[in-house]
Amino acid sequence: MTRFLLHVLIAFILSIIETSLFASFHGTIRFTPFVFAVSVYLLQHHGITSASSWMILHGIFIDTLQHSQTPFVTLAYLVAAVISILSAQRVFSNRSFYGIMTCSLLSYTGFIVMDFLLRLTGAFISKYPFDWMSYYKDTEARYMTLIIFLVILFIFAKHIRIVLAKLFLIPQSRQTL
């Protein structure tokens, strides 16, 4: 139960950082899919399967706020979480940078496809114009910031492992690389 509450707390903190801090920056940096990147990175590189729940909780959080551009965005995060778990456990290597990057890009593509379908449906129902070009530019910026953010996380892998061990998210024995 304590672990469950810890996960909920972490998910909310990450979600707040994405929607309040990152979203308030100017330029491309505001598109950083912070919660997604952290979740998939921890799932793939550190084997914390429960980290995938953070992105689902993030989806619930922004759906509850009704703050998302996409209706029922939790569904898109759910698809991304399933893809990331399956690909992390069965397809890609946990250790390599290549493994992290491809797993993240594959699951983010799953997210984007679902997000696109939901947004298209939303635009069709509410009869609002859907600007393809803006969506394309947004997606491009999201992919770019995701890749950059994953590179940064990979560089600090050792430090992140120490923090995770202190938070009891991974056993103390896995502290060093």
The residue ranges that bind another protein (CB under 8 A) are 1, 4, 8, 12-13, 16-17, 19-27, 30-31, 64-69, 128-129, 131, 133-135, 137-138
State in angstroms the smallest separation of the CB of 33 from another protein: 9
The least CB distance from residue 108 to another protein, in Å, is 15
Smaller CB separation from another protein, 18 or 51: 18
* Assigned token pair, 173: 């024995």
CB of 67 to another protein, least distance (A): 6
Q: How far apart are CA 129 and CA 9, in angstroms?
A: 37
Please give the C-alpha separations between residue 13 and each of 33, 57, 58, 113, 141, in angstroms, as whole numbers. 14, 11, 9, 26, 23
7-27: b or e for each residue (b if 16 or more CB lie within 10 Å)?
Answer: beebbeebbeebbeebeeeee
* DSSP assignment letter at 156: T
Q: How far is the CB of 130 from another protein (least distance, A)?
A: 8
Nearer to another protein, 12 or 116 (CB): 12
